């Protein structure tokens, strides 16, 4: 497939900018358009950067002009912040996606849409399957606002795919990304000097390394498949073990105190943990990646444990207090 | 673990001590010409880099020499501090030192857990307690354990009693102790256990997984042995007068999964679990407070408080029945709802018969 013309939304994020940079090097890509209100993280050679807000109908006017055949929607906001209220998140996620899909409807040239969604649609439940398969997305009622928003986005996307069968619609459900560069809730959580946990719980967590996150997106753009695909690293890791590998002092708290602590951290602008993330820290979540490996043809290079170890290795030189691990290494 | 080689180490001069440190060496930049702050034992890398820089510094050889001497003294002190724990450990008796080393290793996160959360080291540490319960407290008699295939997907189906997974643990212990070639048994547990603090961690580390068809199917497809309790929550709601009366098996989901995965179906009759926690009454509102469907009342609980959770020392008898003969297996058989119901009923009947037979064979519960 030569001469692909690709539009990327949310290009101001790490994954968006890295995706554009990676695609620039590919010979089968003719043109790349990066859309975001934020400036991109990297400098591009042949990518055209467009400053636009996807919540506005500007994309509807833009798409027919630039004649792209692939749209990568990377602007799903997963983490709240001081400038990112739940209402704004809802607007960007749901309204932004709706506007994008409307714009794609009007543009005849669009042949493939890839949305980088979240595995948060499965929720985080106590009695959940350890590895969610793609069809098990409706096992539990949505408990948080973000989960409802992602479910809504997927509904619209499915309806769009049914109405326009000539467009290949791929919904990628990403587990949280972890790595030296990317800034997600989990990396911020692991950067706290003292880490709060739920007393008595040791959830199974699954991540994806930041490099694999971008590479999987490139694979999805190169060979779009229809339907939902889970994107995560193989294997899981327990929260307790992960914190011990990182040498982090923990603060186990009962649920009400944890909520209090997390709310205080948000109030003090230290870190803002969404409800989904808090549930993840309590119950964990794993997804099955056989569809990623077989249909999309992408095998992640890092397992969850390897991704965590690499993250630990890069963080080790940055702390002032020698971590618990080094002291224990002297003993054992 | 990342091992960083400090290039400045190669050119070290005045310290001349060995650099075999376990763990990682940090590459830390220290401000030139000033004494680096002493950050406990592993900061020695800083001393060396600082050392060199001090010696190479332009500002007067004499001051540099003094600082170098202080640095080398600090490095020696750091060495001594680092060698201290090892020296203390060597002085202690072997078992204590080994236990402390294991503790330190586990605290550093260097233990293995599989993707479901099972921790083999933890299981082994739990074995003495389970052996005590098996041999002395419950005096378990096992019958027919060799009927459990040593390889291949196996779905063990047992009757359940109470809220706590004692029966699962006893079946696991029976296989470990009495089977000629023991294999790992994972068991399905209701989601209330995974929503309870402490119990969720414990159950997972011992090989328990949440009871959903997805988990059972995946485990069987991986070729494992899975212990399921098809009665589900209805078993826990059963009162003592109705003990050992097996409740209906629901929609036959357990059988469907076994057929789909082409697993061997082995009924396991467990006698003694009902008397461990005789369920005589219920307090629903108190149970809901703790996230349980209801709070069971036994002769000891909640009268004696947490002590009431200690199970009564009844005698147990576990029989592994002959694997169920299935005319058809595979995904097509699993789709045939009538066939699934038929097999489910056959399974339930076989299990009930075995439970009553073993009940008679065991005799009186406590003496």
Task: Specify the pLDDT at position B43.
Answer: 44
pLDDT band at residue B17, thresholds of 50, 70 and 90? very low
When mean pLDDT is compared across A100-109, A251-260, B84-93, B204-213, the lowest value belongs to: B84-93
Q: Is residue B263 pLDDT above 50, yes or no?
A: yes
How far apart CA B277 and CA B154 sit, in angstroms, is 29
**Interchain contact, A130 vs B116, CB within 8 Å:** yes
How far apart CA A235 and CA A242 sit, in angstroms, is 13
pLDDT of B266-304, one tens digit each?
A: 999 999 999 988 888 888 888 788 777 778 888 888 788
pLDDT of A212-231, one tens digit each?
A: 999 999 999 999 999 999 99
Q: Which residues of chain B from 28 to 57 reach within 8 Å of chain A, CB to CB?
A: 28, 39-43
Pick the closest to residue B68 from B6, B11, B8, B14 (CA basis): B14
**Which residue of chain B has the CA closest to A307?**
B1
**Interchain contact, A129 vs B191, CB within 8 Å:** no
3-state secondary structure of A48: strand
Task: Specify the pLDDT at position B1.
Answer: 42
pLDDT of B336-352, one tens digit each?
A: 999 999 999 999 999 99
Q: Which residues of chain A from 62 to 101 reach within 8 Å of chain B, CB to CB?
A: none
Task: Specify the pLDDT at position B290.
Answer: 75
B104 closest CB neighbour out of A126, A236, A331: A331
Residue B3, burial from CB neighbour count under 10 angstroms (0-12, 13-18, 19+): exposed
pLDDT band at residue A322, thresholds of 50, 70 and 90? low
**Interchain contact, B39 vs A322, CB within 8 Å:** yes
When mean pLDDT is compared across B78-92, B114-128, B313-327, the lowest value belongs to: B78-92
How far apart CA B154 and CA B222 sit, in angstroms, is 11
Which residues in B lie closer than 8 A to residue A325 (C-beta atoms)?
A: 23, 108-109
Highest mean pLDDT among B85-94, B106-115, B149-158: B149-158
Q: Which residues of chain A from 163 to 182 reach within 8 Å of chain B, CB to CB?
A: none
Q: Min CA distance, B359 vs chain A (Å)?
A: 33
A238 closest CB neighbour out of B39, B113, B192: B113
A236 closest CB neighbour out of B1, B40, B115: B115
A331 closest CB neighbour out of B27, B89, B210: B89
pTM: 0.84
Task: Specify the pLDDT at position B45.
Answer: 46
How far apart CA B330 and CA B258 sit, in angstroms, is 9
Number of A/B CB contacts below 8 angstroms equals 138
Q: How many CB atoms lie within 10 A of CB B223?
A: 12
Length of chain A: 332
**Interchain contact, A235 vs B109, CB within 8 Å:** no
Task: Specify the pLDDT at position B25.
Answer: 39
Residue in the block written with tokens 């399957």: A129
Q: Give the CA dihedral A155, A156, A157, A163, nearest 10 degrees.
A: 110
Residues sharing a CB contact under 8 Å with residue B97, sequence separation 6 or more, in sequence order: B89, B90
Q: What is the complex's ipTM, to 2 decimals?
A: 0.90
- Its sign, for the CA torsion A306, A307, A308, A309, is positive
How far apart CA A89 and CA B224 sit, in angstroms, is 43
Residue in the block written with tokens 């180490």: B9
Which residues in A lie closer than 8 A to residue B100 (C-beta atoms)?
A: 331
More confident residue, B30 or B51: B51
**Interchain contact, B200 vs A247, CB within 8 Å:** no
pLDDT of A229-268, one tens digit each?
A: 999 999 999 999 999 999 888 999 999 999 999 999 999 9
Q: Is residue B32 pLDDT above 60, yes or no?
A: no
pLDDT of B215-260, one tens digit each?
A: 999 999 999 999 999 988 888 888 888 889 988 887 778 899 999 9
What is the CATH architecture of B120-362? Answer: 3-Layer(aba) Sandwich (3.40)
**Domain assignments of chain B as residue spans, ordered by start:** 38-110, 120-362
Residue B248 tokens read as: 């209906």
* A192-202 average pLDDT score: 94
How far apart CA B129 and CA B173 sit, in angstroms, is 11
For testing contact with chain A, the best of B5, B44, B115 (most A CBs within 10 A): B115
Residue in the block written with tokens 């414990």: B202
pLDDT of B178-219, one tens digit each?
A: 999 999 999 999 988 999 999 999 999 999 999 999 999 999
How far apart CA A115 and CA B294 sit, in angstroms, is 44
Angle ∠(B316,B320,B322) on CA atoms, nearest 5: 150
CB contact B91 to A (< 8 Å): no
Task: Specify the pLDDT at position B12.
Answer: 43
CB contact B13 to A (< 8 Å): no
Residue A35 tokens read as: 């859309």
Q: Min CA distance, B3 vs chain A (Å)?
A: 9
CB contact B122 to A (< 8 Å): no
How far apart CA A311 and CA A316 sit, in angstroms, is 9
Q: Which domains are present in chain A?
A: 4-176+210-232 (3.40.50.720)
**Interchain contact, B210 vs A129, CB within 8 Å:** yes
Q: Which residues of chain B from 55 to 84 reach within 8 Å of chain A, CB to CB?
A: 82
How far apart CA A306 and CA A245 sit, in angstroms, is 11
* B153-175 average pLDDT score: 94
For testing contact with chain A, the best of B108, B116, B209, B210 (most A CBs within 10 A): B108
**Interchain contact, B26 vs A316, CB within 8 Å:** yes
Task: Specify the pLDDT at position B129.
Answer: 95
Helix ranges (DSSP H) in A171-274: 185-190, 210-222, 239-246, 255-267
Q: Min CA distance, A73 vs chain B (Å)?
A: 31
**Interchain contact, B40 vs A241, CB within 8 Å:** no
A130 closest CB neighbour out of B89, B197, B215: B215
Which residues in A lie closer than 8 A to residue B260 (C-beta atoms)?
A: none
How far apart CA B318 and CA A180 sit, in angstroms, is 53
Report yes or no: A211 and A179 within 8 Å, Cβ to Cβ. yes
Q: Min CA distance, A329 vs chain B (Å)?
A: 6
| Mean confidence (pLDDT) of chain A | 92
**Interchain contact, B85 vs A133, CB within 8 Å:** no
Task: Specify the pLDDT at position B191.
Answer: 87
Q: Is residue B27 pLDDT above 70, yes or no?
A: no
């Amino acid at each position: 497939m030569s001469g692909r013309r690709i539009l990327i939304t949310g290009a101001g994020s790490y994954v968006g900018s890295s995706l554009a940079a990676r695609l620039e090097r590919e010979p089968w890509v003719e043109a790349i358009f990066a859309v975001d209100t934020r400036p991109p993280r990297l400098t591009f050679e042949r990518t055209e950067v467009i400053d636009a807000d996807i919540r506005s109908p500007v994309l509807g006017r833009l798409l027919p002009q630039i004649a792209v055949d692939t749209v990568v929607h990377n602007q799903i906001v997963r983490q709240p912040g001081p400038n990112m209220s739940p209402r704004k998140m809802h607007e960007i996620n749901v309204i932004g996606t709706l506007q994008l899909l409307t714009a794609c409807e009007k543009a005849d040239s669009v042949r493939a849409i890839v949305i980088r969604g979240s595995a948060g649609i499965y929720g985080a439940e106590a009695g959940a399957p350890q590895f969610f398969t793609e069809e098990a997305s409706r096992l539990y009622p949505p408990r948080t606002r973000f989960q409802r928003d992602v479910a809504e986005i997927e509904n619209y996307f499915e309806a769009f795919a049914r109405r326009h069968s000539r467009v290949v619609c791929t919904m990628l459900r990403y587990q949280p990304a972890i790595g030296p560069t990317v800034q997600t809730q989990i990396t911020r959580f692991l950067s706290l000097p003292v880490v709060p946990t739920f007393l008595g719980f040791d959830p199974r967590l699954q991540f994806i390394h930041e490099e694999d996150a971008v590479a999987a997106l490139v694979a999805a753009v190169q060979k779009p498949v229809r339907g939902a695909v889970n994107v995560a690293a193989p294997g899981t890791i327990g929260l307790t073990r992960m914190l011990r590998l990182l040498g982090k002092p923990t603060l186990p708290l009962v649920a009400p105190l944890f909520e209090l602590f997390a709310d205080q951290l948000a109030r003090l602008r230290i870190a803002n943990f969404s409800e989904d993330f808090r549930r993840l820290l309590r119950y964990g979540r794993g997804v099955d990646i056989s569809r990623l490996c077989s249909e999309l043809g992408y095998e992640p290079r890092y397992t969850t444990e390897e991704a965590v170890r690499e993250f630990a290795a890069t963080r080790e030189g940055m702390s002032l207090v020698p971590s618990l691990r080094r002291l224990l290494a002297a003993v054992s | 673990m990342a091992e960083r080689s400090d290039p400045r180490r190669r050119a070290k001069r005045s310290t001349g001590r060995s650099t075999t440190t376990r763990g990682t060496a940090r590459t830390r930049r220290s401000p030139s010409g000033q004494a680096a702050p002493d950050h406990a034992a592993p900061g020695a890398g800083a001393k060396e880099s600082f050392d060199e820089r001090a010696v190479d510094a332009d500002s007067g050889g004499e001051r540099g020499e003094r600082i170098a001497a202080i640095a080398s003294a600090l490095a020696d002190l750091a060495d001594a501090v680092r060698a201290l724990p090892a020296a203390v450990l060597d002085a202690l008796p072997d078992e204590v030192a080994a236990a402390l080393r294991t503790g330190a290793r586990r605290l550093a996160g260097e233990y293995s857990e599989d993707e479901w959360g099972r921790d083999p080291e933890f299981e082994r540490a739990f074995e003495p307690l389970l052996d005590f319960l098996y041999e002395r407290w419950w005096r378990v008699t096992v019958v027919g354990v060799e009927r459990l295939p040593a390889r291949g997907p196996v779905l063990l189906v047992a009757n359940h009693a109470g809220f706590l997974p004692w029966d699962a643990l006893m079946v696991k212990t029976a296989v470990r102790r009495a089977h000629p070639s023991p294999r790992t048994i994972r068991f399905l547990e209701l989601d209330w256990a995974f929503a309870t603090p402490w119990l969720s961690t414990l159950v997972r580390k011992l090989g328990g997984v949440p009871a959903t068809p997805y988990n059972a199917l995946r485990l069987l497809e991986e070729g494992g042995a899975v212990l399921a309790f098809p009665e589900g929550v209805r078993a826990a709601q059963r009162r003592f007068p109705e003990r050992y009366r097996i409740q209906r098996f629901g929609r036959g989901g357990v059988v469907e999964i076994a057929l789909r995965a082409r697993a061997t179906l082995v009924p396991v009759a467990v006698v003694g679990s009902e008397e461990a926690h005789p369920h005589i009454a219920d307090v629903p509102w108190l149970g809901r407070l703790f996230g349980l469907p209801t709070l069971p009342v036994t002769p000891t609980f909640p009268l004696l408080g947490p002590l009431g959770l200690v199970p009564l020392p009844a005698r147990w008898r576990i029989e592994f029945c002959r694997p169920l003969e299935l005319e058809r297996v595979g995904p097509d058989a699993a789709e045939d709802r009538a066939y699934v119901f038929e097999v489910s009923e056959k399974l339930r009947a076989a299990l009930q018969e075995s439970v009553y037979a073993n009940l008679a064979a065991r005799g009186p519960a406590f003496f």
